[in-house]
């Protein structure tokens, strides 16, 4: 079944210090379900707190302490905020803020989401890339029901408006790397005055049923905030992992202490969404099961926050400054460190390779048109937080 997707880009006049957010984010006299706030903009966040009042700031601080590594801090809208929820998340280079936010909104069955595209392009990332990422994600990453996506832009930033318009127009043009887009209807509203320019671009497209998230069938149900689940040695799940590990690690270990399944739903959703995106965008499945060796402290952090950019370069930089994985457990073993009991840690991770190229030590990120780097054999380097999911932790001696 196909659905109508509404994308709205609009410009409104407001002062960052004194604007009334509940008036700005009214679309066709309807309030939005979710407002997305970039934590990298202190002015914007402070303005949101002013409109939301003390209760919003208190809720935000509580959620931040409760989930310090979460990619999104979701807070119930308080005060005069014209939405049900506020999604707070940082803007980081090579990240896709709109993807992260839209995925969460879709899983929560929200019907509308608004991004404050204020200061777009000020975070050491080209404006064209920001606009492209946000518009293409809004166009492609929506689920079963119709959902509206909005971007609020300062009136003086006509460069941002022009770039968003350009990216929407490009959706009509097929390219070698993208499937031909469905027809897009564009309506541009003219400026009514020199002081207030309003433009609405409505892009309605036929998009098929998209990402429908379900918990993996192997996961155990729990009411606790628990993410580590020890596998029973008699299960096929355990035996399969052990067999592959043992083949590569003969004479390099003497005992398996335990194998644990990592059930981190938040990061699993991020990974599966990134996987869905890759399969549909490139029309191929490039997922691999790879190993990553590390010390005990790093293992604890990875289970909570997955393979984020803080681990870039930890296991070397010969093929790029990113997170390193290998199909050879014996190679990953060289990056493990025994704890006081002589126990070592190695992850078996699901990794999206997508388009890969030979890397070198000067590459701080992947080249344009590629998603990972490699040695051409068994080593793969990723550069996106959601590109890998730590599925199992093998503890051994």
Say how many domains are in the chain.
Answer: 2
Q: Are residues 249 and 359 in the same domain?
A: yes
User: Is 214 within the bounds of a domain?
Assistant: no
**C-beta separation of 257 from 245 below 8 A:** no
3-class secondary-structure state, position 169:
helix
Please check whether residues 189 and 85 belong to one and the same domain.
Answer: yes
- Output the pLDDT for position 312: 78
CATH number of 182's domain: 3.40.220.10
- Structural domain includes residue 28: yes
Residues 144, 249 share a domain: no
Cα separation, 343 vs 14, in Å, equals 58
Q: Is residue 52 part of a domain?
A: yes
Per-residue pLDDT tens listing for the chain (397 residues): 233 333 344 433 333 333 333 333 333 333 567 888 777 666 667 777 777 778 888 888 888 888 777 778 888 876 666 567 888 887 655 556 666 777 788 778 777 777 765 444 454 556 666 676 666 666 665 544 456 677 666 555 666 666 766 776 675 455 444 444 333 322 222 223 222 222 222 222 332 333 445 678 899 887 777 899 999 999 999 999 999 999 999 889 999 999 999 998 878 877 887 787 677 667 788 899 999 999 999 999 999 888 876 777 777 789 988 899 999 999 999 999 999 999 999 999 999 998 899 999 988 887 877 889 999 999 999 988 789 999 999 999 9
**CA 376/CA 359 separation, integer angstroms:** 9
Report if residue 203 sits inside a domain: yes
Query: Three-state SS for 206?
Result: strand
302 and 200 in a single domain? The answer is no
pLDDT at 339: 95
Residue 198 and residue 302 in one domain: no
- DSSP class of residue 387 equals G
Task: Give the pLDDT of residue 325.
Answer: 96
Max distance between CA atoms of the chain, in angstroms, equals 77
CB 83 within 8 A of CB 25: yes
Answer yes or no: is 212 within a domain.
Answer: no
Q: Is residue 129 domain-resident?
A: yes
Residue 217 falls inside a structural domain:
no
Same domain flag for 233 and 287: yes
Cα atoms found within 13 Å of the Cα of residue 152, Cβ hemisphere only: 25
Whether 96 and 67 map to the same domain: the answer is yes
39 & 110 share domain? yes
For residues 172 and 244, state if they share a domain: no
d(CA 260, CA 246): 16
Of 360, 379, 367, 368, the closest CA to residue 319 belongs to 360
DSSP 3-state percent helix, strand, coil across the chain (nearest 5): 30, 25, 45
Q: Which of 312, 303, 222, 229 is nearest to 266 (CA)?
A: 303
Residue span of the structural domain in which 91 resides: 3-207
Q: Are residues 196 and 325 in the same domain?
A: no
The CA distance from 302 to 320, in Å, is 20
User: In CATH, what number is assigned to the domain containing residue 239?
Assistant: 3.90.228.10
Check whether residue 248 and residue 201 sit in a common domain.
Answer: no
14 plus 125 within the same structural domain: yes
337 inside domain: yes
């Amino acid at each position: 079944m196909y659905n109508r997707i509404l994308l709205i880009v609009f410009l409104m006049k407001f002062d960052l210090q004194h604007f009334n957010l509940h008036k700005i984010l009214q679309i066709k006299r309807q309030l939005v379900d979710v407002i997305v706030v970039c934590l990298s903009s202190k002015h914007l966040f402070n303005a949101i707190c002013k409109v939301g009042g003390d209760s919003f700031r208190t809720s935000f601080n509580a959620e931040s302490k409760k989930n310090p590594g979460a990619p999104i801090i979701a807070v119930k809208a308080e005060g005069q905020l014209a939405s049900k929820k506020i999604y707070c998340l940082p803007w980081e280079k090579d990240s896709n803020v709109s993807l992260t936010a839209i995925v969460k909104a879709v899983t929560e069955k929200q019907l509308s989401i608004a991004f404050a595209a204020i200061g777009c392009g000020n975070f050491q990332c080209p404006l064209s890339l920001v606009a492209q990422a946000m518009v293409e994600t809004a166009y492609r990453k929506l689920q079963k029901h119709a959902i509206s996506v909005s971007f609020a832009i300062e009136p003086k930033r006509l460069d941002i408006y022009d770039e968003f318009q350009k990216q929407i127009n490009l959706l009509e043009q097929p390219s070698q790397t993208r499937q031909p887009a469905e027809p897009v209807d564009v309506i541009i509203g003219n400026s009514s005055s020199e002081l207030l320019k309003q433009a609405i671009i409505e892009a309605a497209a036929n998009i098929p049923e998209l990402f429908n998230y379900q918990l993996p069938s192997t996961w155990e149900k729990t009411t606790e905030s628990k993410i580590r689940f020890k596998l029973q040695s008699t299960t096929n799940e355990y035996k399969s992992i052990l067999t592959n590990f043992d083949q590569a690690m003969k004479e390099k270990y003497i005992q398996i202490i335990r194998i644990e399944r990592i059930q981190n739903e938040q990061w699993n959703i991020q990974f599966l969404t990134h996987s869905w995106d890759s399969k549909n965008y490139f029309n191929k499945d490039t997922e691999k099961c790879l190993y990553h060796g590390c010390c005990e402290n790093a293992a604890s952090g990875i289970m909570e926050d997955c393979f984020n950019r803080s681990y870039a370069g930890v296991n070397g930089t010969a093929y790029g400054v990113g997170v390193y994985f290998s199909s050879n457990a014996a190679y990953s073993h060289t990056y493990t460190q025994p704890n006081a009991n002589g126990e070592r840690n190695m992850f078996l991770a699901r990794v999206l390779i997508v388009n890969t190229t030979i890397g070198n030590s000067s590459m701080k990120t992947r080249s344009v048109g590629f998603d990972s780097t490699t040695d051409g054999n068994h080593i793969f380097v990723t550069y996106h937080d959601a590109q890998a999911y730590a599925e199992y932790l093998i503890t051994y001696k």
